[in-house]
Structure 1
Amino acid sequence: MLVVRLPAQPSRHRVAVWRELRRAGALSLGQGTWALPDVPGVADGVARAIELAERGSGEVIVLSATGRGEHDAARLTAMFTAERQEEWAEFLTECGRFDAEIDKELRTGKLTMAELEEEEQSLERLRRWYRDLMARDVFGAPAAEEARQRLQHCADRLADYTEQVFQALHQM
């Protein structure tokens, strides 16, 4: 549990701490109060958030906390999982956009190296995003497996597109 206190202005410090805590997978429980599971990998994000808060003339109090009972622990787990589920849904939407982009390039016959490089960059962005989400998804949201499959599908689509680009370039 983290209690974050920062001056209201300038707001860039609050935003920087907020972004770092979100990146670490923190769950906002209310004004300046955040919860994180005590798992490996979270400590770096907490340390960065503390450093950012201190740069902004603020402070972070880190507390070890557990629920009063199984119900509280289950509720927190459900809240973390719901947040990850939303992130996975957004990721799946982006995989769909990647798929649609490949379809468009094939439909219009845009088989160029420039377009291939752009699609490779898009896939690499999806891969980084997937790794980041996996690191935050400590309780295993249901959509994680579908996301893994969709990312593999995107990689397969890019491999097929790459083959078609090379075939088109060598026919010239």
Structure 2
Amino acid sequence: MRGWLLLVYRIPREPTSRRVFVWRKLKQLGAIALQDAVWVLPRTPRTQEQLQWLAAEITELEGDAMLWEAEQVYATDATALRQQFIETVEAEYRELLVALKKKTADLSALSKRYQQAQLRDYFASPLGPQVRERLLKRGESTK
């Protein structure tokens, strides 16, 4: 395991649009909330860069942010956190596989959703390549 990044932040309650902005960014990255304002992501060069940018944006929004590198030393279930990331992305992949079975599937929109899911696939789900293969096959069949 390559470790974790923790973003701990505090942002003024009003206007609420600031809090929503931060929440949406974290969700786009696939971060998981450990507590109200403590979010975690697997440590990769990309997630580190993205969280550093977000921490700077939080500061610009008159908030405070700290970005931590962490190693999990103890947990009741040591694999639970990793499993949360896997389950989330696999649910997205399963939705895509179902959508690809529809004759009226919007391949452009599904490709975009696949690319977004792939960015959050931190533990290389075996469903990812399956979705990619089906997208390619559907694309070939429409030519």
User: Where has structure 1 moved over 4 Å in runs of 4 or more?
Assistant: 69-73
Residues 146/66 of structure 1: CA separation in 2 closer, same or farther (3 Å cut):
same
Q: Distance in 2 between matches of 1:152 and 1:60?
A: 41
Deviation at 1:13, TM superposition (A): 1.1
Residues 72/38 of structure 1: CA separation in 2 closer, same or farther (3 Å cut):
farther
Unaligned runs of 5+ in 2: 1-5
Match of 1:14 in 2: 19
Deviation at 1:50, TM superposition (A): 1.6
C-alpha contact (below 8 Å) 2:55/2:67 kept by paired residues? no
C-alpha contact (below 8 Å) 1:20/1:45 kept by paired residues? no
Deviation at 1:145, TM superposition (A): 2.8
Normalised by the length of structure 1, the TM-score is 0.69
**Do structure 1's residue 128 and structure 2's residue 133 form an aligned pair?**
no
Match of 2:96 in 1: 91
Deviation at 1:35, TM superposition (A): 0.5
**1:150-165 alignment to 2 at 5 Å?**
150-159=134-143
Which structure has the greater CA radius of gyration? Answer: 1
Deviation at 1:157, TM superposition (A): 3.1
Q: Distance in 2 between matches of 1:70 and 1:158?
A: 49
Q: Which moved more, 1:44-53 or 1:81-90?
A: 44-53
Deviation at 1:34, TM superposition (A): 0.6
Deviation at 1:54, TM superposition (A): 2.0
Match of 1:113 in 2: none
Q: CA RMSD in A?
A: 2.2
- What's the CA shift string for 1:53-73, capped at 9, x where partnerless? 223211221111111148755
Match of 1:41 in 2: 46
C-alpha contact (below 8 Å) 2:93/2:127 kept by paired residues? yes
Letter in 1 for 2:134: R
Q: Which has the higher strand share?
A: 2
Unaligned runs of 5+ in 1: 103-121, 160-172
Deviation at 1:92, TM superposition (A): 2.6
Number of positions where the alignment pairs a residue of Structure 1 with one of Structure 2: 138
Q: Percent identity, aligned pairs only?
A: 27
Query: Equivalent of 1:27, from 8, 12, 32?
Result: 32
Match of 2:3 in 1: none
Deviation at 1:141, TM superposition (A): 2.3
Deviation at 1:83, TM superposition (A): 1.5
Deviation at 1:23, TM superposition (A): 1.6
